[in-house]
Amino acid sequence: MPPGSGPSGTSRGYRADGTVAAVSTPPPPPRRRGPPPAAAFAVLLACAVGAGVWALGPDRSNRPGPTLVVALSTPPAGSPPPHPAPDDTAGTGTAPAPAPTLADRTHGWGVPLPAGWTAEPATERAAVVEVAGRYACGQSAAPCPRGRFAIAADSVGAADAQRAAEREMAAFAPEVFGELRAHREESAGTLTVAGREGWAIRWYAEPWRGAAGHVVVAAVADPHGTGYVVLRGGVDDDPGAPAASVLDGIIRGITAV
């Protein structure tokens, strides 16, 4: 029974010392005929299997936050399949085309390209670059993207994946959003990308100027050497920006090829 409910004519409240107190309340109005109003439910599910799972925490902005779990090593009993079943509601008899995949030749990975995102040429610093929603932001001569994701070309050295991710986040968040007025860590933990273990951090960054937004940085063991590969992404907290969950989908969908 939810807090505040009780026998007819009473409700339950809580005193400062934590004990329950009965409070008299007027009887409920007579029920109207007809179908009852729909009940509203909010369900938050976070499943952790072993130590190789990282789930993004709750989104404290005004927009719904991600609820995806990155790279579950063993799906929990009764969980849906990792990919949705083909959608044949249109009656065409064909499944929707899979999302395009970019080749990360540096690390031997296939990286999903979400709908509405654009692949940009690799650079000396980045093996894969994806952006979405360019607009005139006024902070630079070139348009600014509402969403961005990149995989660093060179691995970084660190005592462990957590320290690598924390160090890269401290540098990347101001690079994306400008000088920060404040930030809060929304989640952090282990994850697996294409079979490689690592650590991921998510911040909500609030700059002095411009849009605030979500920043995700992951560091995973280099598949072809020592050190850690850094994956970095960010989306503005703006109605015109991609949902923060899109970053989860990119990371979750990376495969070894």
- Write down the pLDDT at residue 210: 87
Beta bridge partners of 135: 144
| DSSP 8-class letter at 159 | S
Name the region of 90 (left: φ>0; alpha: ψ -120 to 50; beta: rest).
alpha
- Write down the pLDDT at residue 127: 96
Which CATH architecture is the domain 54-77+100-256 placed in?
A: 3-Layer(aba) Sandwich (3.40)
pLDDT tens profile 79-109:
444 434 334 444 445 555 677 899 999 999 9
Query: 193: Cβ–Cβ under 8 A, 6 or more apart, which residues?
Result: 70, 71, 218, 220, 231, 251, 254
What distance in Å separates the CA atoms of residue 236 and residue 213, rounded to the nearest whole number?
A: 4
- pTM exceeds 0.95: no
- Residue pair 217/169 in contact (Cβ under 8 Å)? The answer is yes
Q: Domain map of the chain by residue range?
A: 54-77+100-256
What distance in Å separates the CA atoms of residue 237 and residue 59, rounded to the nearest whole number?
A: 10
Torsion over CA: 118, 248, 231, 71 (sign): negative
Segment 162-166 long-range contacts (CB within 8 Å, at least 24 positions apart): 162/188, 162/199, 162/219, 164/199, 164/219, 164/227, 164/228, 164/230, 165/198, 165/199, 165/200, 165/201, 165/217, 165/218, 165/219, 165/228, 165/230, 166/201
Residues of the chain with pLDDT under 50: 1-25, 28-92
- Write down the pLDDT at residue 137: 78
- Write down the pLDDT at residue 91: 47
Of the candidates 79, 102, 54, 65, the one whose C-alpha atom is nearest the C-alpha of residue 255 is 102
- Write down the pLDDT at residue 186: 93
- Write down the pLDDT at residue 223: 93
- Residue pair 151/123 in contact (Cβ under 8 Å)? The answer is no
- Write down the pLDDT at residue 142: 82
- Residue pair 225/250 in contact (Cβ under 8 Å)? The answer is no
Radius of gyration (C-alpha) of the chain in whole angstroms: 23
Tokens representing 168 are: 């890269």
Number of H helices, E strands in the chain: 2, 14
Residue 160 phi/psi, 5-degree rounding, is -160, 175
